[in-house]
Structure 1
Amino acid sequence: MPRFCANLSFLYTELPFLDRFAAAARDGFAGVEYFFPYGHAPQDIAQRLADNGLVQVLFNAPVAGPDSAANQAAWDAGARGLACVPGREAEFQTTVRLALEYAQALQCTQLHVLAGVVPSAHAADLAAVHATYRSNLRWACAQAAAHGVQLLIEPINTRDMPGYYLTRQDQAHAILAEVGAANLHVQMDLYHCQIMEGDVTTKLRSYVPTGRVGHVQIASVPMRQEPDQGELNYPFVLAELDRLAYRGWVGCEYRPRLGAHNGATQAGLAWMQAYRKPASTIS
């Protein structure tokens, strides 16, 4: 049966960030993920996790800069990571070090390192972009391994994130092979996968048995809402994850259909009740 974690950057957004932890626990989530923790002291987040019996499953390394303000400003300006960006290796290393500090404080064993958007100045030299990405990931994996942390890379669709470097599952798994680090895995977001490639079940059957899919995320397609409508049959897909013996978390990274109104996330969780029944009842 899937282990669902709530993405607090998408769910319960009517509440202040630190209050979302209790809301997620109340609604039956055992773990949480989100984009960035850096706007809050790690001890404050750790206390919310402990108070609510939650596991910190995942968060993103900063997309730029040495601190929360710089990261947020860069994100708002369209930055989506530095890993593939030639010439900014030192800044990339700073972001990874900050992420690992938070990971240790929150007892989080997985970090997502965003690849970044290909700079226009390097659009004609993708070989340099790829070499930078590979080199940065090797360095980051070595740092993370010393802390017992697994790094994740995620193919993201170019409709939501134009120009993003990493877009396909085969590309991600090829990079894993090139980097050669045991603690580098793929974050397989089925919303992005369906938009870029389709054939989601075949992708799951190809990659989950390798043991290199470290995290799965879900949302409806095309609206990125609760996984109970749209073109993906999630009861079938999630049952397939069970059949493939996937043991990781499934992140609920979707926008509630009712928006950010009071109680909107809770009102949209009826889809999750089916997965609290015995697995044999899920068709």
Structure 2
Amino acid sequence: MPRFAANLSMMYAEHAFPDRFAAAARDGFQAVEFMFPYDWQKDALATRLQDAGLLNVLMNAPPGDWLAGERGLAALPGRQDAFRSSIDAALSYADAFACPRIHVMAGVAPEGVDRALCLDTYKENLSWAADQARTAGRTLLIEPINTRDMPGYLLNRQADAHAIVSDIDSPHLRVQMDLYHCQIMEGDLTTKLRALLPTGRVGHLQIAGVPDRHEPDQGEVNYAHLFDVIDTVSAQCGWDGWIGAEYRPRYGAETGGTTRGLGWVQPWLKRGS
């Protein structure tokens, strides 16, 4: 049965970030994910996580200088030292949260730098980082991201991500398959889920409505159908990952906030209770 994690970087924005853990638990979530927790002390957030009785199933490694336009360091030539420091920080936070998965962003290819050099840097960095993850008992994830939301991002398609994971051939490196990004870039989601989940290379799924990135009960994707597909394929192949709800709620605090828009997930949360 699909298991859903609330993405606290996007959901529950009507609360301060440390208060979002309790809000998600009140709504019935058993797990959460988030992007960049590094502005908060890890022990304080770990306490919030534990007090809420939640699992942290995914977090991001530091992305570099976000305000300056960096969207990850892994594929940036000349930034290897900064990348390694970011992995060290991520593993430290993941240890505090008992978080098994860390998303490592590739980055936006620098202007004038050959793409082949970026890809070589990416693979070398990921190979090193996967070895660090093995020692720490964690799994790293790479995610294809659509070029509309993140122009210039190095990794955009499922086939490319799976090829990189296959080449590096580490059980501590997997693909984060975001169906929102995949629909925008490629479509054919049912076929891709049926083909890719059984490979063992998909470590995590994410969802959002397309095209507006609101709740998954709006837009062009029939998620109710896809949840049944995931349920069926998982039963056949043993895939037991989580589905991260990484969307921007359509309701603001004054009109009910995140909780008001959770009708799409309540039947699944009740099944898991």
Q: What is the TM-score with the length of structure 2 in the denominator? A: 0.95
Q: Does 1:87 align with 2:51?
A: no
Residue 40 of structure 1: how far off its partner (Å): 0.9
Q: Check if 1:107 corresponds to 2:98.
A: yes
Structure-2 separation of matches of 1:259 and 1:203: 34
TM-aligned CA deviation for residue 278 of structure 1? 5.6
Deviations, residues 113-152 of structure 1 (Å, cap 9, x unaligned): 0000000021xx2111110000000000001110100000
Equivalent position of 1:240 in the other structure? 229
Gaps of 5+ in 2: none
* Aligned residues of 2:28 and 2:269 also touching (Cα < 8 A): no
Which of 250, 264, 267 pairs up with 2:257?
A: 264
Contact 2:29 2:269 (C-alpha < 8 Å) held by counterparts? no
Look up the match of 2:50. 50
The answer to whether residue 145 in structure 2 is matched with residue 156 in structure 1 is: yes
Partner of 2:157: 168
Kept in 2: contact 1:49–1:56 (CA 8 A): yes
Q: Hey, what's the Cα distance between the residues in 2 that align with 1:55 and 1:30?
A: 6
2:7 counterpart residue number? 7
Distance (Å, rounded) in 1 between the aligned partners of 2:244 and 2:141: 14
Q: Which whole-Å CA distance do the structure 2 matches of 1:176 and 1:89 have between them?
A: 19
- Cα deviation, 1:239-262, whole Å, max 9, x if unaligned, reads 100111131111000111113546
Q: How many pairs are equivalent?
A: 268
| Deviation per residue, 1:19-78 (Å, 9 max, x gap) | 0000000001111111111111111111011101100111100012xxxxxxxxx11222
Write the distance in 1 (CA, Å) between the matches of 2:267 and 2:168.
Answer: 39
| CA distance, structure 2, for counterparts of residue 259 and residue 244 of structure 1 | 36
Q: SS state of the match for residue 57, structure 2?
A: strand
Q: Partner of 1:63 in structure 2?
A: 63
Q: Contact conserved, 2:103 with 2:142, CA < 8 A, in 1?
A: yes
Instruction: State the shift of 1:274 in Å.
Output: 2.6
Tell me the equivalent position of 2:188.
199
2:170 is matched with which residue? 181
Q: Quote the residue 1:128 is aligned against.
A: 117
Helix, strand or coil at the partner of 2:176:
strand
RMSD, aligned CA:
1.3
Task: Give the TM-score, by structure 1 length.
Answer: 0.92
